[in-house]
Chain A
């Protein structure tokens, strides 16, 4: 496994509209979460955004960040997830 830092991957899937990135990044700013990288594309008509973020001292499980992101997704017809990066490293890196 690569070095373990407190980072996470946020994904947003759904229909493109104005203000998705603004909404998510505004929310992250409230938690003092820094965005390291953003990529976005349209795949099969689905807006797909992947964000790499530095959680610093925020714990995914002990804060309400997951619920807040889910609510943002529900309000805007988007599927939003946040997952610790270790999961992806475990699956895709030897």
Chain B
């Protein structure tokens, strides 16, 4: 029999602490949609997505109603388009992006991920076409997200691609300059990209994944913060234990929803991504949660240590709650999407360099960071290279989603709206790294890649 305390604890998590299921993401393999013309390939892609995901949104809404649990997003991830489109003979893949966009709209999902390429060791012809298509593809579509894997611990870092992505990010910003460079908010580069990540912008369905699969991303920084408020002043062992327990409960909700969605849609359940994903809403912030550890403001000394502990405790609680944990799993630290991060960046407490340090111990990377529009492409590549090195050499996922906002500089801010939030333009070290980036080639895989 449930106790009143347990029932009320659950009720308060949803009503006051912003607990929600962030996303049910259906992964759909498009391997069988390759064709000898782009038109035929796009037709197959559209038909397959509609066939698999036609009922996704309705099913999500029904589950949400049954448990009175908010399920914020229903989304789709697909096989990287550079693989699917390779045989089509197209010299530009924008029409593939438009097809994904149309399918997403007709299914009622708000994002579709997979306008992607995996180039950690080098380019195929198709990878090159896809990357060159990104700025236009993101400018003419609403719902398509693009991701490129530039590095891995096994392969090292493709520095040619790091160099090229600096230019592509600049171009994507210019093409959407009238909308505060929103194109860049839908584009992420990775080291060690997970193949089952349900979160955007980096979701795609890796080549090792099944035909169709349900992955669920959970959220809940507010729940963890609330739990910590009850143990103020206690030692850090107590804090770790408290985070674990909260993470366990949150993950169990995700597992319940994932299994139910899988059963109703007759699609296998893949993984739970147990990430603490903030939103710009007050009370749903990872930065405020870190401050609850005893920091005056996020970004000050101690922030990295607090984040390391938080990330680890979330994983420990979550893995007890579900046997199939995957994706990014940890704490997200996007700047524009987190009310406390925005405040810390605006006040000068949180610097880009500190964020880089934080990415060594959390689940993603430099995320949703707005920088001056006149930042050179080579500097953007330098930022990416550093982040790729952190991921590659520390055997973890890292990513960069950075927005050089045309016409704006330090002191300005940019408003993306909705869950993408707003961001103050952050200061970037202006000393040049152009000659380093200009070298190109590959950074060899680290010695610990040789594990066989």
**B residues in contact with A85, CB < 8 Å:** 2
Complex CA distance for A41 and B5, rounded to whole angstroms: 11
The answer to whether A57 has its CB under 8 Å from any CB of chain B is no
**Contact status A60-B66, CB under 8 Å:** yes
Q: How far is the CB of A62 from chain B (nearest CB, A)?
A: 8
A87 vs B1: C-alpha distance in the bound complex, in angstroms?
A: 13
Docked-complex contact A66 and B65, CB < 8 angstroms: yes
Q: Please name all residues of chain A whose beta carbon is closer than 8 Å to the beta carbon of B15 when the two chains form the complex.
A: 79
Residues of A contacting B255 in the complex (Cβ-Cβ under 8 angstroms): 90
In the bound complex, do residue B62 and residue A9 qualify as a contact, i.e. CB atoms below 8 Å apart? no
A83 interface hit (Cβ, 8 Å) = yes
Nearest Cβ in chain B — how far from A92, in angstroms? 4
CB of A54 within 8 A of chain B? Answer: no
Q: Which of A43, A61, A90 contacts B65 (CB 8 A)?
A: A61
Whether A83 contacts B67 by the Cβ 8 Å rule is: yes
Could you tell me which residues of chain B, from 240 to 258, have a CB within 8 Å of some CB in chain A? 249, 252-253, 255-256
B8 touches A11 (CB 8 A): yes
Does B432 lie at the interface of the complex (its beta carbon under 8 Å from any beta carbon of A)? no
B67 touches A86 (CB 8 A): yes
Partner of B253, one of A41, A43, A50, A90: A90
Check A84 against B67 for contact (C-beta < 8 Å).
Answer: yes
Q: Quick check: A9 and B66 within 8 Å, CB to CB?
A: no
**B65: nearest chain-A partner, CB-CB:** A61
Query: How far is it, in angstroms, between the C-alpha of A90 and the C-alpha of B254 when the chains are bound?
Result: 10
Contact yes or no, B65 A87, CB < 8 A: no
Task: Report whether B4 and A87 are in contact in the complex, using a CB–CB cutoff of 8 Å.
Answer: no
A33 at the interface (CB under 8 A from B): no
Asked if A91 lies at the interface with its beta carbon under 8 angstroms from chain B, I say yes
Across the interface, which residues of B come within 8 angstroms of A50, CB to CB? Answer: 4, 7-8
Per-position contact with A for B1-17: 1 when CB-CB < 8 Å, else 0?
11010111011000100
Name A71-88 residues within 8 Å CB distance of B: 79, 81-88
Is B68 in the interface zone, CB < 8 Å from A? yes
Whether the Cβ atoms of B4 and A84 lie closer than 8 Å is no
Q: Smallest CB–CB gap between A59 and chain B, Å?
A: 8
Q: Once bound together, how far apart are the Cα atoms of A75 and B255, in whole Å? A: 35
Number of A-B contacts (CB under 8 A): 65
For chain A, the bracket of interface size reads: 20 to 34
Check if A91 sits within 8 Å of B65, measured CB to CB. no
Write the nearest CB–CB distance from A60 to chain B, whole angstroms. Answer: 5
Chain B residues within an 8 Å CB radius of A62 = 62
Q: Which residue of A lies closest to B68 (CB)?
A: A83
- B52 CB to closest chain A CB (Å) equals 22
Complex CA distance for A61 and B10, rounded to whole angstroms: 20
Query: With the chains together, A70 CA to B306 CA distance in Å?
Result: 41
Interface centre among A39, A79, A81, A91 (most CB of B within 10 A): A91
Contacts of B66 in A (CB 8 A): 59-61, 83-84
- How far is A79 from B69 in the complex, measured between Cα atoms in Å? 15
CA distance A39 to B2 in the complex (A): 11
Count chain A CB atoms within 10 A of each CB in B4, B7, B65, B255 and give the residue with the most. Answer: B7
Contact of A90 among B1, B8, B63, B252 (CB under 8 A): B252
B261 CB to closest chain A CB, in angstroms? 13
Q: Which residues of B contact A88 (CB under 8 A)?
A: 2, 6-7, 10
A91 touches B253 (CB 8 A): yes
Contact of A87 among B8, B62, B256 (CB under 8 A): B256
* Contact residues in A for B256 (Cβ distance below 8 Å): 86-87, 90
Residue of chain A at shortest CB distance from B255: A90
Across the interface, name the chain A residue whose C-beta is closest to B7. A50
Mark contacts of B153-181 with chain A using CB atoms, 8 A cut-off: 1 yes-contact digit, 0 otherwise: 00000000000000000000000000000
Given contacts A87-B67, A87-B69, contact A81 B252 (CB under 8 A): no
Kindly state the separation between the CA atoms of A29 and B293 in the bound complex, as whole angstroms: 49
Cα-based distance from A91 to B19 in the complex (angstroms):
13
With A11-B8, A37-B1 already in contact, 19 other A-B pairs whose C-beta atoms are closer than 8 Å:
A11-B11, A13-B11, A41-B4, A50-B7, A60-B65, A60-B66, A61-B66, A79-B15, A83-B67, A84-B66, A86-B67, A87-B10, A87-B67, A87-B256, A90-B252, A90-B255, A91-B6, A91-B10, A92-B10
Q: Could you show 23 A-B contacts with beta carbons less than 8 Å apart?
A: A9-B7, A11-B7, A48-B8, A52-B2, A59-B66, A60-B65, A61-B63, A61-B66, A81-B68, A82-B68, A83-B66, A83-B67, A83-B69, A86-B256, A87-B68, A87-B69, A87-B253, A87-B256, A88-B2, A89-B2, A91-B10, A91-B249, A92-B2
Where the two chains meet, the residues of B that have a C-beta atom closer than 8 Å to any C-beta of A are 1-2, 4, 6-8, 10-11, 15, 62-63, 65-69, 249, 252-253, 255-256
